[in-house]
Amino acid sequence: MGQGVSVTENDGFVGPIPIAGRVSSLAVLDEKTVYIGTSGGGVWKTTDGGRNWIPKTDTQPNLSIGALAFDPTNSNVIYAGTGEFIQYYDAYPGVGILRSRDAGETWRLLPDPAGVFVGAKVSRIAVDAGNPRNIYAATNRGLIISTDGGHNWGSVKMGACSQISDVVIDHTTTPSTVYAASSPLDTGWYVTDNPGCNGIWRSNPPLIGQSSGESPPSFSRLTTGVPAGNMMRLALQFDPNSGAGGTSGQRGRGAFDKKPKGILYLAMQVYIPDSPEGGHQFDLKVYKSTNGGNSWQYVAMVFPGNWGVFGIAVQRMSSTAQTTDAIYVASLELLTSTDSGQKWKFSTYTESDPAQANPTTADPDKISPYRNRKTHYDLQAVGVVRGDARKIFIATDGGIYKSEDYGQTYTNLNETLGNVHFYRGAVSNELSPSLIGSMHDSGFVRTYATIDRGNWFRVQGGEVGSIVFDPQNYQRVYITRNDGALVRRSLDGGFTFRDASRDISPCGGRDFLPPLAINPKNSQHLLAVTDMLYESLDGADTWHGFGGRSQFPNDGAVITAIAPAFSSFTIYVARGAKVFKLTSTGVNKAASLSDATFDLANFSMVRTLAVDPDNPNTVYAGLWAASGTPRLRKLEGNNWVDTTMGLPDANVNSIVINPANSKDIYVATDKGTYRSLDAGARWFSITDGMPNAIAYDVVLNQTGTMLYVFTHGRGVWRANVKDLPTGPRRSPR
């Protein structure tokens, strides 16, 4: 069979630009050279202050970046920790630590012989300036340490807590002192009291005769002055320039000096039942220590309310002779102090008259009724330009921004950053088609006029699930949301939407991406689900519900997928790892429905379903499951059969069957996009040349001639089906 052409060699990347996705981490060398880590989009670099961004890790085995750090003794050496230590639906685990020795041009995954990075999400990396062979990674699997430059790694737990949210190093002591923060974010936004877990930990002095770097340090928990109780994520920052400065002592065997020369800062969200500062249960507070954590001084309650902490940056003010620090706390907004924490302000929005807000604007950064936004919300990190506390870069769920005046004004740096992470996508049936895609935390985007990387705009904010175009009238578009009204309808091609959930009960659970389907032969006929199955025969004007938990029994699970064969009114419904088949003599006849259950035991969840258009008794199920388990099954009659030959060990997120040839099938997986030309008997990759990104959705146009791949972190990619590979790539001789 011929090899065809890869996706990128044909039509390739089609956007969206300048719309951006989540930037999870950053490393600022100077005001021109900055590295950013993105959610599913890898590491990017700019050398002109953010006007142009270049992806640097597209071929690496994992593009989910949680942390970046320079070697403080050699800025050409940079580390990238894979896996995001956040509690988002689309935050994926990593595979370990990537390292570049040539300023980001080439990268290598460091070895992990003990397997300590399996399933790990990296929150922060710290490299010891006194001995750069000592590398520390804060992860959800403990503080992972290498003392030999990344050849071997070991994991250290802090008391009963294996989840470490931050790590910093004071290199002004001899040997360097390491501080780690334990706060189990992954167990929930609000954690139960665990005195043996949450807190700040400090490395102990080495034994006499033991020099730094020979073995990992031991740690002790610091208790004096830090509030006890329920804590959320903790963030640390050590400012070596805040104290007396300089380094101390020689670093020879047996010599050590643990007297710190700077200030250690701590930002935390903590619950104090009898807080004298206010009545809010959860308060975002800042503390500092001038004696290496032996005692702590309460600086200020930055914001009273349920705001998490995702980073803190501190730098000595360069514009004043006073000994004050500029402090930046990354949370839902950026919180800024320019007087060492005495006064604070919100730097990423300005309060305005709610009546002046425009809730129908296409810019989701301005739809809040109480805020005039300067940047996207939900900050992930903040970095200060060395030597100039005025200049900062902030990483947000909607890209990267720069300020040169302590956060008073910002420059959007997303013009060339194509890192949007999509959930679902759809293409219209028209001569000049349009694309719509739903994104994490940023609503959805659509193309305007033509499909091109720069012809996109945002329509709504929030979390959008499924999207379908009316195949007979592309001006009608339907979406589902996991908040508020389930179904919303547009009559102007997706520019504005209104609630179309009449008769749909808000009660009961719903999936994060609520499924939606439309009949290609009768576009007035739609199906949607909450905890029940709903049918509309009039274009979402009215709905009829049937088939609740009594018909789809599976305790503790929600409906995650539906796949109708509208020609025979056969419907497959997935709840958890069970698939229910419903058949009827006609539409809207719940009383005549019969059902059969096909249990996919040992799988965690059916993520997607697709019915063979030529045979309603054949359905494909894409699965989320543990590693080493086949993730694609095919139901033939009453039996599930394995149909994974050639597929990677990865979750299957989406399936689409070519309407022009039911044997031509495409699947989106956590390890790229695959194709089968023999009804699933064997599969092969079609993404040679594309970034090694997670593929979240695959969409074909109505004629089956154009394929669109919606990725998690690298935007949308397009290919003409006739140019795609028709078999596995041959290995070079």
Interatomic CA distance for residues 320 and 326, integer angstroms? 11
Residue 357 has pLDDT above 50, yes or no: no
The residue whose two tokens read 């397997």 is 115
Return the pLDDT at 267.
Answer: 85
Whether the predicted pLDDT of 271 surpasses 70: no
**What percentage of the chain reaches a pLDDT higher than 90?**
46
Pick from 66-80, 283-297, 719-733: least confident = 719-733
CB of 443 within 8 A of CB of 462?
yes
For the cut 90, the answer to whether the pLDDT of residue 592 exceeds it is no
The 10s digit of each residue's pLDDT in 284-313 is: 788 889 899 888 888 877 665 556 677 788
Q: What is the mean pLDDT of residues 340-350?
A: 84
Q: Using H for helix, E for strand and C for coil, what is the string for 126-171?
A: EECCCCCCCEEEEEECEEEEECCCCCCCEEECECCECCEEEEEEEC
Confidence at residue 281, expressed as pLDDT on a 0 to 100 scale: 57
Residue range 451-463, pLDDT digits in tens: 888 888 888 766 7
State percent of the chain over pLDDT 70. 82
One-letter amino acid of 713: G
Q: Which residues contact 135 (CB under 8 A, 6 or more apart)?
A: 79, 97, 125, 126, 127, 128, 145, 146, 149, 150
pLDDT digits (tens, 9 = 90+) for 396-455: 988 999 999 999 999 999 999 999 989 999 999 888 899 999 987 677 888 887 888 888
Between 630 and 87, residue with greater pLDDT: 630
Residue 442 CA to residue 144 CA, distance in Å, equals 33
**pLDDT at position 188:** 40
Q: Which tokens go with 67? A: 């942390």
**Looking at residue 194, what is its pLDDT?**
53
8 Å CB contact between 276 and 240: no
Question: In this model, does residue 192 exceed pLDDT 70?
Answer: no
Residue identified by tokens 């460091």 is 110
- Backbone phi, psi, residue 316, to 5°: -60, 135
Mean pLDDT of 91-116: 95
Choice among 168-172, 332-336, 382-386 with the minimum mean pLDDT: 332-336
Separation between Cα atoms, residue 552 and residue 573, nearest integer Å: 8
pLDDT at 556: 78
Beta strands in 541-577 (DSSP E): 544-546, 559-565, 570-575
pLDDT of 244 strictly over 70: no
3-state secondary structure of 504: coil
What's the whole-model pTM score?
A: 0.89
pLDDT of residue 179: 94
The yes-or-no verdict on residue 15 having pLDDT over 60 is: yes
First to last CA, the chain: 17
CA 565 vs. chain centroid, Å, equals 33
Buried b (16+ CB within 10 A) or exposed e, 49-65: bbeebebbbbebebbbb
Residue range 593-625, pLDDT digits in tens: 566 788 777 677 899 999 999 998 999 999 998
pLDDT at 182: 86
Give the mean pLDDT of 330-343.
Answer: 86
Full DSSP string of 602-627: T-SEEEEEEE-TT-TTEEEEEEE--T
pLDDT at 324: 75
Q: How far is CA 723 from CA 266, 675, 678, in A?
A: 55, 13, 18
Kindly report, residue by residue over 473-490, the tens digit of the pLDDT.
989 999 998 877 889 999
Of 131-140, 243-252, 403-412, 577-586, the range with the lowest mean pLDDT is 243-252
Distance CA 1, CA 17 (A): 36
Give the per-residue pLDDT at 135. Answer: 97
pLDDT at position 253 is 34
Backbone angles phi, psi at 289, to 5 degrees: -130, 130
Taking all residues of the chain, what is their mean pLDDT, rounded to a whole number? 83
Lowest mean pLDDT among 286-290, 441-445, 587-591, 690-694: 587-591
